[in-house]
Structure formats: structure tokens, C-alpha cells
């Protein structure tokens, strides 16, 4: 009997696969050749799949390097990274006011692009350290190289200039010692190899560098969309322990609907394939009302939005489905005991 707590397979978005296919094609390796080498059915990689298993992606990196006879295939995959590689997460980065905010969004939303590993950043004594924790071990050289090369290429693109080179440490051995100059060309500096972690250290002042062409007005809409995708991703990838309750389903449906206008019980019931009366009855059996779930969803989102200084109180009221700012003020005071402006000031 399978375990209730079995971990679901990690995934990679199809858009994240595209740089690998581009780097392979530039070296004469077709998707069909990769499919054959990986034992995949014809057409598995072209047209681009919506998603694929993360372990298969890692294997394709190794196969691409072998077929292309390219010792630095991972670096060259990273060089092929574009805005679309990261899906909606890439668009969020383009709406960030500075690089510090971009790294914060990376830590939250990179899982929308892949489950290959996770990012973390710390700042101490004026030095920022970005660390990437791989899910596939220290020996996967092309994987780590592709991640750090992609960050370098995309960061330069966001900045509109070549960023100062970071001090790099990588857990793998660097490959053949005679061909390591490629690291300097792509990454801007020679990494220290066989390190205890994959990390890049740099002057923390870089976090305040503005993103020159950022459209911060797009951030609220993109962030709400990303949060919706993140909830769906979490539901797919978390260990199966118990069924999602009806109040949780209603909460998620409300969050998906809020930015598009007022939320009505009838529309949420229709989305859940229930009649309004049945939805009310089932919520009552769970000890909660529709209005209470709606208030909980709005309060949680409001607290998140109030942490974002670029959002005005009018913007937040609109994003929460209120037609009047005064209605938002009244509701928030009921929930928090203070008005939204005072709550925002307390955060500072």
C-alpha cells in the first residue's frame, strides 16, 4: 500500500527547458536526438511540453553536454536564458524597483519555474551572499553552472549593463582544469570549486541598484497572479496528507476572483460546481459562513498589500474588490482594530 506521505515528482516548466534546447540546437543537437538518447517517445520535447520531470531535465543537461561534446554545456544553457524562461516569475522581476526586491521575489516565486533547488540570501557586514541549494547534489556540474550563468545573464539584462562580478563558490570540481577560462567569460570571475555550498558574495549596496526599465505599476497584478499559481503549485507538490477542505477551496476561489471585481457567493458556488444553497449548507456544517471566509481572505491579502509601499490605499481597496475606499477602511478596522494607514505605519 503506498504511503500517504509520498513526495510527488518535482517538475520543471516547459519554458525553463527552452534554453537547454536552444543551447543544444546551437551545437547541432536536435530535440529528436535528445529524445532518442533519453529513451523518450518522439515529440516529447518538440513542441515544448507544458512541464516535465525535474530529474529528466537534469538528465537532459548531461545528455546535451555529451551529444554536443561541450564541457561547459551548463554555462551555455544559462547564456540562452531570456525573460520568458522564468514564466510569470520573470515578469515579476521586471516589475521590481531594485535588485533587492528582485531577489526577494526570486526566493518566493522561483518554484513556479522549477523544482530544481531553492534560493536564499543573507546580508552581513555590508556583504550579501546569495546561495542556491540544489535538490540534485554537488556532482551535477551542468545544473549549477546553468543556474548561475542564467542569473548573471538575466541580471545584466535587468540592469542594462554588466554587473560587478561576484565572488563565486561552487560545490562541483569545475571539470577539466585546462578549459576553465570559460567560467570567467560567462560568469565574470573564476569560481572556487569543491566548495561547501553554491553561492555568490557581493557588495550589499548592489541590492539598492534600481531596475532601470521596471514598471512597478504592474507588480500588484502580477503578484496576485503569481500567488494564485503558487497556491496551485503548492497543492500539487505538497505531500498528500489530507483532502483540501471546502472552506480552503472557497478561500482559494475567492483569492482567484477578487482582483477581477466583487466576489459573490453564487459565482464561487458555480466555480466549485455547487448550488449556492448547497455551498452555504456545507460551509455551515464546517462551522463557518461564506462572509467569514471572504473576510479572512481579504484580511490576509490586505496585510500583504500594506507591506508594499508602491500600492496606495485606493489600489488596495480595488484589489480586494471594494468599490469604495471607505468600505475597505471600515472593514479593515473591524478586522485589525486599527485603520489601514495606521497598520501600514506600524510596519515601518
User: What is the pLDDT averaged over residues 120-133?
Assistant: 90
Asked if residue 4 has pLDDT above 80, the reply is: no
- Model pLDDT, residue 243: 53
pLDDT-derived band at 261 (thresholds 50, 70, 90) equals low
User: What is the pLDDT averaged over residues 28-34?
Assistant: 97
**The three grid cell numbers given for residue 195, joined into one nine-digit string:** 566548495
User: What is the pLDDT averaged over residues 6-23?
Assistant: 84
200, burial (CB in 10 Å: exposed 0-12, middle 13-18, buried 19+): buried
- Model pLDDT, residue 81: 93
Q: Mean pLDDT score of the chain, rounded to an integer? A: 87
- Model pLDDT, residue 74: 97
- Model pLDDT, residue 83: 80
**The three grid cell numbers given for residue 193, joined into one nine-digit string:** 570549486
Asked if residue 311 has pLDDT above 50, the reply is: yes
60 touches 171 (CB < 8 A): no
**The three grid cell numbers given for residue 275, joined into one nine-digit string:** 448550488
User: What is the pLDDT averaged over residues 107-127?
Assistant: 89
**The three grid cell numbers given for residue 325, joined into one nine-digit string:** 475606499
Question: How far apart are the C-alpha atoms of 248 and 95, rounded to whole Å?
Answer: 30
Residue scoring higher pLDDT (193 or 273) = 193
User: What is the pLDDT averaged over residues 284-306?
Assistant: 88
pLDDT-derived band at 88 (thresholds 50, 70, 90) equals confident
Asked if residue 5 has pLDDT above 50, the reply is: no
Predicted confidence (pLDDT) per residue in 231-256, tens digit = 777 766 554 344 568 888 888 888 87
Domains and CATH numbers, the chain: 11-208 (3.90.1520.10), 243-347 (1.10.10.60)
Question: How far apart are the C-alpha atoms of 208 and 272, rounded to whole Å?
Answer: 44
Asked if residue 146 has pLDDT above 70, the reply is: yes
Listed residue (113, 105, 89) closest to 15, CA to CA: 113
Asked if residue 18 has pLDDT above 90, the reply is: yes
- Measured at the CA of 63, the angle between CA 62 and CA 66, to 5 degrees, comes to 90
Residue scoring higher pLDDT (332 or 226) = 332
* pTM of the entire predicted model: 0.67
- Model pLDDT, residue 241: 40
Residue 127: strand pairing partners: 124, 203
- Model pLDDT, residue 8: 55
Amino acid at each position: 500500500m503506498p504511503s500517504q506521505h509520498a513526495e510527488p515528482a518535482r517538475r520543471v516548466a516547459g519554458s525553463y527547458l527552452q534554453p537547454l534546447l536552444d543551447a543544444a540546437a546551437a551545437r547541432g543537437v536536435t530535440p529528436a536526438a535528445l529524445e532518442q538518447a533519453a529513451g523518450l517517445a518522439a515529440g516529447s520535447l518538440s513542441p515544448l511540453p507544458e512541464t516535465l520531470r525535474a530529474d529528466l531535465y537534469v538528465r537532459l543537461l548531461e545528455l546535451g553536454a555529451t551529444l554536443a561534446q561541450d564541457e561547459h554545456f551548463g554555462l551555455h544553457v544559462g547564456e540562452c536564458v531570456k525573460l520568458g524562461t522564468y514564466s510569470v516569475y520573470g515578469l515579476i522581476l521586471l516589475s521590481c524597483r531594485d535588485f533587492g526586491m528582485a531577489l526577494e521575489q526570486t526566493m518566493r516565486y522561483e518554484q513556479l519555474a522549477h523544482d530544481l533547488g531553492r534560493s536564499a540570501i543573507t546580508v552581513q557586514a555590508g556583504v550579501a551572499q546569495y546561495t542556491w541549494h540544489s535538490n540534485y547534489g554537488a556532482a551535477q556540474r551542468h545544473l549549477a553552472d546553468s543556474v548561475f550563468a542564467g542569473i548573471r545573464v538575466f541580471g545584466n539584462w535587468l540592469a542594462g549593463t554588466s554587473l560587478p562580478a561576484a565572488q563565486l563558490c561552487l560545490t562541483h570540481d569545475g571539470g577539466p582544469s585546462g578549459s576553465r577560462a570559460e567560467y570567467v567569460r560567462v560568469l565574470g570571475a573564476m569560481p572556487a570549486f569543491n566548495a561547501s555550498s553554491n553561492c555568490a558574495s557581493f557588495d550589499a549596496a548592489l541590492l539598492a541598484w534600481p531596475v532601470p526599465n521596471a514598471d512597478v505599476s504592474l507588480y500588484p497584478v502580477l503578484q496576485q497572479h503569481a500567488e494564485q499559481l503558487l497556491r496551485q503549485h503548492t497543492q500539487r507538490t505538497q505531500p498528500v496528507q489530507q483532502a483540501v477542505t471546502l472552506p480552503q477551496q472557497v478561500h482559494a476561489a475567492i483569492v482567484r476572483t477578487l482582483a477581477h471585481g466583487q466576489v459573490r457567493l453564487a459565482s464561487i458556488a458555480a466555480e466549485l460546481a455547487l448550488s449556492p444553497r448547497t455551498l452555504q449548507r456545507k460551509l455551515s456544517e464546517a462551522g463557518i459562513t461564506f462572509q467569514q471566509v471572504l473576510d479572512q481572505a481579504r484580511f490576509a491579502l490586505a496585510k500583504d498589500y500594506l507591506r508594499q509601499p508602491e500600492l496606495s490605499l485606493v489600489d488596495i481597496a480595488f484589489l480586494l474588490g471594494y468599490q469604495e475606499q471607505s468600505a475597505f477602511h471600515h472593514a479593515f478596522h473591524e478586522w485589525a482594530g486599527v485603520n489601514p494607514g495606521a497598520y501600514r505605519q506600524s510596519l515601518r
